[in-house]
């Protein structure tokens, strides 16, 4: 059995700023999207048979050509994304083949440097029977819930909180059911599954799986890449 990877890469990267959409911004001379694809491909235990990438409308052909060399041995499908991340994932999911796929990974292009062992942990959890598996890290800040006036409502016990990363792994029929419903307000795909009452398993994430979101994250990405190339 093999896995399929959906990569939502259609966002504009408004918090990052700059000319190009975020997935096309370069670190170490290559786009974040190329780094993300290469990272997934390197997790050999995932046995990736297919990539479906959601990109800004109009860039499909360009991206297909750019990514072809990195997808060796796997099918590459590129689709125009939608207005929200959930829409982009749903549009990509429509193209994921049914045959021979026992796990679908959904991975943000912006988490370009996730280490292979995190991907392996996610896939292993799904193959061991978890309908959904997500990589997580403990939170280091104290998190407070606030009301519209900015007043603190309460402070959840930090020991019960985790920060969630990608790739998130899914038993294919669960992900399809999750995306068949209303996706309004969902900030990740696991959340859609939680709404169905499906149990979501957590596995250990990595600091290297941070999401490039703001300009300083590009500096961190450059540093991380330099360290990896030295090693």
Residues lying near ligand CTP in the complex (CB under 6 A):
8-16, 22-23, 54, 81-85, 88, 108-110, 211, 213
Residue 167 binding partner per list Mg ion, ligand CTP, none, with a CB distance cut-off of 5 to 8 Å that depends on partner kind: none
Residue 136: in which H helix or E strand, if any?
A: strand 132-138
Q: Which residue is nearest to Mg ion (CB)?
A: 11
Smallest distance, ligand CTP to C-beta of residue 40, A: 13
- Which of 11, 167 has the CB closer to Mg ion? 11
Angstrom distance (rounded) from CA 191 to CA 132: 10
**Pairing label, strands 132-138, 200-204:** parallel
- Which of 11, 81 has the CB closer to Mg ion? 11
**The 3-state secondary structure of 160-183, one letter per residue:** HCEEECCCEEECHHHHHHHHHCCC
Residue 49 binding partner per list Mg ion, ligand CTP, none, with a CB distance cut-off of 5 to 8 Å that depends on partner kind: none
Mask 11-50, x = binds Mg ion (CB under 5 A)?
Answer: x---------------------------------------
Q: Is the peptide bond before 114 cis (omega within 30 degrees of 0)?
A: no
Query: Which residues, at least 6 apart from 55, have a Cβ–Cβ distance to it below 8 Å?
Result: 9, 10, 23, 33, 63, 78, 79, 80, 81
Smallest distance, ligand CTP to C-beta of residue 57, A: 10
Binding site for Mg ion (CB under 5 A): 11
């Amino acid at each position: 059995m093999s896995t399929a990877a959906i990569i939502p890469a259609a966002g504009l990267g408004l918090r990052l700023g700059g000319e190009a959409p975020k997935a096309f911004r370069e670190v170490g001379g290559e786009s974040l999207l190329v780094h993300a694809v290469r990272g997934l491909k390197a997790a050999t235990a995932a046995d990736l048979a297919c990539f479906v990438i959601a990109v800004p409308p109009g860039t499909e052909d360009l991206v297909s050509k750019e990514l072809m060399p990195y997808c060796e041995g796997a099918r590459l499908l590129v689709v125009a994304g939608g207005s929200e991340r959930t829409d982009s994932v749903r549009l990509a999911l429509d193209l994921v083949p049914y045959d021979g796929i026992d796990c679908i990974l959904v991975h943000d292009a912006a988490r370009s440097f996730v280490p292979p062992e995190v991907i392996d942990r996610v896939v292993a959890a799904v193959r061991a029977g978890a309908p959904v598996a997500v990589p997580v890290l403990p939170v280091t800040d104290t998190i407070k819930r606030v009301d519209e006036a900015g007043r603190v409502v309460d402070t959840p016990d930090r020991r019960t909180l985790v920060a969630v990363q990608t790739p998130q792994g899914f038993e294919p029929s669960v992900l399809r059911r999750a995306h068949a419903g209303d996706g309004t307000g969902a900030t990740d795909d696991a959340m859609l599954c939680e709404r169905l009452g499906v149990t979501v398993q957590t596995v250990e994430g990595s600091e290297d799986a941070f999401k490039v979101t703001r300009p300083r994250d590009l500096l961190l990405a450059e540093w991380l890449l330099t360290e990896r190339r030295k090693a």
